[in-house]
Amino acid sequence: MIQTIIVAIILAAAAVFVVRGIMRTVKGKGGCGCGCDNCPMKGDKGRLCNDSFPQINVDD
Amino acid sequence: MLLSELQTGERGVVVRVAGHGAFRKRIIEMGFIKGVTVEAILNAPLNDPIKYRIMNFEVSLRRSDAEKVEIVSEKEAELEIVSHDDYRGIDADEQSAAQHIAAERGKTINVALVGNPNCGKTSIFNIAAHAHERVGNYSGVTVDEKVGTFEHNGYTFNLIDLPGTYSLSAYSPEELYVRKHIIEKNPDIILNVVDGSNLERNLYLTTQLIDMDITMVMALNMFDELKRSGDKLDIEQLSTLLGMPIVPTTGRNGDGIDKLFDTIIDVYEERDVKTRHIHVNHGRELERSIKRLRTELYEHGFSDSLSTRFLAIKLLENDKQLEQYTTERDPDGSVFKMRDQIADEFFRSSHHSIDDTEHVQKEHGGDHRAHQDIESAITDAKYAFIRGALAECYEKNEKSTLHAHTDRIDAIVTHRWLGYPVFLIFMFITFFCTFAIGQYPMDWIDALFGWLGELVNSNMTEGPLRSLLADGIIAGVGSVIVFLPNILILYLFISFMEDSGYMARAAFIMDKLMHKMGLHGKSFIPMIMGFGCNVPAIMATRTIEDRKSRLLTMLVIPMMSCSARIPVYVILVSAFFSKYAALVLTGLYLLGMIMAVLMAKLFSRFVVKGDSLPFVMELPPYRMPTAKAVLRHTWEKGKEYLKKMGTIILAASIIVWALSYFPTNADKKMQAENSYMAKIGKTIEPVMAPCGFDWQQSVSLLSGVFAKEVVASTMTVVYATSSEEAEELEDFEAEENGSRISQLIQQNMSPLSAASMLLFILLYMPCLSTIVAIKNESGKWKWALFTMAYTIGLAWVVSTVFFQLVSLIL
């Protein structure tokens, strides 16, 4: 029984981590998954990068 | 806060005055200097000008001018002192609080690193800010700004590393980006990094920065190379001629960096005697034209945010972005009328002199500028200024053999025919070492995780927790972590090739092929970066000016094998093709590149149409990479890999285990066959069967959508929980059959199916992060979804054709 409870807690934590990771990635907040401190996709850095560096306007 | 935000009746202390040239001088002369108290007498919303009291007299400033003055208000100081322990002991009610905070803030210096690509900006940044940003001996490594903060001699430095740029024109994204940063962010000091071994070309950017009338310090980097070459440079003289202090530095070992930041402090505190504003002389006629246009710009109030001299020069050069900026402030177009008139007169006067100059040319063989437009004339004048300055202080050693070795190596590695086999040999050696040397530590780590699994199994009672630990976490994470040595060895080789300058040559020899296939030669750099991780590679496409090439490169980067795919390759290769491991791995990487180029050709014909621009790329001299830099880059990658193990791989292994374990059944075989994972796998199995995949392979590939390493951990967990033979492996000892994981795979998969799976993994959809990166960079979900669809379709077709054809033959 104790084993089942511990497994349930670990599973829930893993599920939350994965779902949160996917949500953050899709929103462009979570980094690329490479785990590096200066991930260009991460948080403010990603936004800064995307706002200020010229990007493609595919409709041009 | 800004002076313009100070409300009527409020007082504040001046921290710094931004801006440049005459505008800054005027403000300072009015008394707005560091540490002086200023009071807003009348600041009504939307009212212009604002009235202030400073040094017991009243002045009025335009709101736009007041925005250039940073202050600390007494109200702000009061709040800050209450909330910060550092300020304990200072009386919050007194004006001294604001004085104190203003003095503290005044000791923060914002410095922007500006220089040509590959001149060593990031090396200086890393040493100064104790950072570990990626550096490489080729241009385009930095594609966005990196900010580092550090203390030096009581001052706080905010150091901003900007992308390398050859000029401040508006031709390429990095040029625009750097210019925009300087104009909008107004750094206190521009640290102009100059490659000492290539002065003439590097100083061109310096002359444009001088035009901008900003406070500068020059780092004469790679000074060791300059000394070794035997060239003689009178730094004092050059410093006087350019009107800025010059500090010799060597970014590779940190020589001169301390002195550099001491000099920046002196310049910031206006103690440096060498700092003065000079004008780059463009010749009598051009200077007259610039002066006329400047006067017109002054009359239209252009003097506050941008140097009118710089703006006038750029308008004469037909700079589209600054034309747009001017239009907003000059709706009646009188500035443009003046500009066009000046350009017309300049053109006519040039033509007028044709007869004379042709005569001169015939007589003396000298050059003439009769047919040159005003833009070329400005460029020529700048180079003439540089050559004139260098003639006075620089003596080139014509017998220098410094770069002779570069020419000798280039004769082979960039040879028309030899270049390609040399590239292939480098790749083969890389993969041979990755596999052969990596095998030993890989076996040790594998044995360690095997022992851990046994420990759990023998010491815990049977139940879900034991299974989660042994079959889920230890098997899943262990199956990926064993490849850490391979990843480190691969990065060691890639770092060496990048830092030595070979990668730039690889791009050079690939240019012709790339161009034929509709890609830009510059596309090769992001594609090579894709070997590490596809996400920064997608972002690195920002350095490609041409829209079509940029989008094409983005679409084909997922074909480049990222390091996350290595664990899956090595598992399958060591299980079935260990004798030919290096060949198979080289073949896979090459196949990825070939497919990328073929896809680019196809897309440029049918999907993304447009003209591509010519390829211009610098070939840096070969440099022996320092062990520190190579090992640091390798370790950074290893650290990232380990971090991933503790996060995404761990979480994915737990979820995959749960899906494979539940619903429980007394019979292990039955449990695996009826698990949720099996249900998912069997649902997609019919679609994947033509490729030769069973349900376990199918779900493993599905899980790779989140991160490619998860394919390896899923395969191990699924086979470990579903295979009857898996239990026998508990007594496994590493021997000639390969690792524990390899043996598990051998028992459940045929070599043909494994080969088909290798092809599928190489080509099928990139991870979720890469998809999002494509969406962000292209600005449309359309291209991200297109990439998903075409990669999955391509992988399925190639694997199916391969599997079915080879099945027929065998």
pLDDT tens profile B492-511: 888 888 788 888 788 788 77
Nearest residue to B442 (alpha-carbon basis) of B485, B489, B500, B386: B485
- Mean pLDDT lowest among A3-17, B49-63, B359-373: B359-373
**Displacement of CA B673 from its chain's centroid (Å):** 47
Q: What is the count of residue pairs from A and B with beta carbons less than 8 Å apart?
A: 131
Torsion B344-B349-B351-B357 (CA) sign: negative
Which of A3, A34, A38 comes nearest B463 by C-beta?
Answer: A3
Whether pLDDT at B803 is above 90:
yes
Q: What is the pLDDT of residue B610?
A: 60
**HSE-CB for B755 with a 13 A CA cutoff:** 18
**Displacement of CA B31 from its chain's centroid (Å):** 42
Q: Give the model's confidence band at B132: pLDDT under 50 very low, under 70 low, under 90 confident, else very high.
A: low
Which of B173, B772, B783 comes nearest A53 by C-beta?
Answer: B173
Segment B27-33 shows an average pLDDT of 82
Let me know how long chain A is.
Answer: 60
Task: Give the CATH fold of the B3-104 domain.
Answer: SH3 type barrels. (2.30.30)
CB contact under 8 A, B655 and A15: yes
Q: How far apart are CA B734 and CA B548, in angstroms?
A: 52
Which of B131, B773, B783 comes nearest A32 by C-beta?
Answer: B773
Contact B17, B28 (CB under 8 A): yes
Which 3 state secondary structure label does DSSP give B192?
A: strand
- Mean pLDDT lowest among B102-111, B176-185, B330-339, B510-519: B510-519
What is the average pLDDT score of chain B? 83
Query: Token digits for B730?
Result: 């508990």
CB contact under 8 A, B143 and A53: yes
Query: Token digits for B344?
Result: 């017309």
Segment B531-573, tens digit of pLDDT: 878 887 887 777 676 777 788 889 999 999 988 898 899 889 9
CB contact under 8 A, B772 and A7: no
Q: Give the model's confidence band at B365: pLDDT under 50 very low, under 70 low, under 90 confident, else very high.
A: very low
Residues 6+ away with beta carbon under 8 Å from B725: B744, B747
DSSP state of A30: B
Whether pLDDT at B244 is above 70:
yes
Q: Give the model's confidence band at B346: pLDDT under 50 very low, under 70 low, under 90 confident, else very high.
A: confident
Contact B736, B746 (CB under 8 A): no
Segment B185-225, tens digit of pLDDT: 889 999 999 999 889 999 999 999 999 988 999 999 999 98
**Displacement of CA B760 from its chain's centroid (Å):** 30
Whether pLDDT at B141 is above 70:
no
CB contact under 8 A, B778 and A58: yes
Q: How far apart are CA B155 and CA B258, in angstroms?
A: 13
Tell whether A44 lies on the interface with B, counting CB pairs under 8 A.
no
Cα of A20 to nearest chain B Cα, Å: 11
**Displacement of CA B770 from its chain's centroid (Å):** 16
Whether pLDDT at B760 is above 90:
yes
Residues 6+ away with beta carbon under 8 Å from B58: B41, B51, B52
CB contact under 8 A, A41 and B551: no
| Chain B partners within 8 Å of A32 (Cβ) | 533, 535-536, 769-770, 773
Q: What is the pLDDT of residue B635?
A: 84
Helices assigned H by DSSP within B107-150: 121-129
**Displacement of CA B8 from its chain's centroid (Å):** 46
Please classify residue B440 by burial: count the beta carbons closer than 10 Å to its beta carbon, then call 0-12 exposed, 13-18 middle and 19+ buried: exposed
Q: What is the pLDDT of residue B304?
A: 66
Segment B616-634 shows an average pLDDT of 79
DSSP state of B495: H
Neighbours of B747 (CB within 10 A): 15
Q: How far apart are CA B718 and CA B699, in angstroms?
A: 9
Neighbours of B703 (CB within 10 A): 26
* Most A CBs within 10 Å, among B768, B781, B782, to test the A interface: B768
Tell whether B550 lies on the interface with A, counting CB pairs under 8 A.
yes
The three-point CA angle B262-B263-B265 to 5° equals 65
* Most B CBs within 10 Å, among A6, A7, A18, A39, to test the B interface: A7
Let me know how long chain B is.
Answer: 810
Among B71-85, B246-260, B478-492, the range with the most confident prediction by mean pLDDT is B246-260
* Most B CBs within 10 Å, among A4, A17, A34, A42, to test the B interface: A34
Tell whether A17 lies on the interface with B, counting CB pairs under 8 A.
yes
For chain B, what percent of residues have pLDDT higher than 70? Answer: 88
Place of tokens 């099945």: B807
Which of B144, B176, B640 comes nearest A34 by C-beta?
Answer: B640
* Cα-trace Rg, chain B: 32
Residues 6+ away with beta carbon under 8 Å from B773: A32, A41, B534, B535, B538, B539
Is the predicted ipTM greater than 0.90, yes or no? Answer: no
The DSSP element (H or E) to which B650 belongs, if any, is helix B650-661
Nearest residue to B598 (alpha-carbon basis) of B514, B478, B489: B514
For chain A, what percent of residues have pLDDT higher than 90? Answer: 20
Helix, strand, coil percentages, rounded to 5, for chain B: 65, 10, 25
Tell whether B644 lies on the interface with A, counting CB pairs under 8 A.
yes
Query: Token digits for B626?
Result: 């320092």
Which of A38, A41, A53 comes nearest B542 by C-beta?
Answer: A53
Q: Give the model's confidence band at B611: pLDDT under 50 very low, under 70 low, under 90 confident, else very high.
A: low
Options 1.20.120.1200, 3.40.50.300, 3.30.450.20, 3.40.50.970; CATH of B107-268: 3.40.50.300
Q: How far apart are CA B606 and CA B558, in angstroms?
A: 19
Query: Token digits for B235?
Result: 């730094």
Place of tokens 């044709």: B354
Alpha-carbon distance values, A35 to A60, B145, B533, B567, B633 (Å)? 35, 19, 11, 17, 14
Which of A18, A25, A40 comes nearest B536 by C-beta?
Answer: A40
Q: Give the model's confidence band at A32: pLDDT under 50 very low, under 70 low, under 90 confident, else very high.
A: low
Tell whether A10 lies on the interface with B, counting CB pairs under 8 A.
yes
| Chain B partners within 8 Å of A36 (Cβ) | 636, 640
DSSP state of B128: H
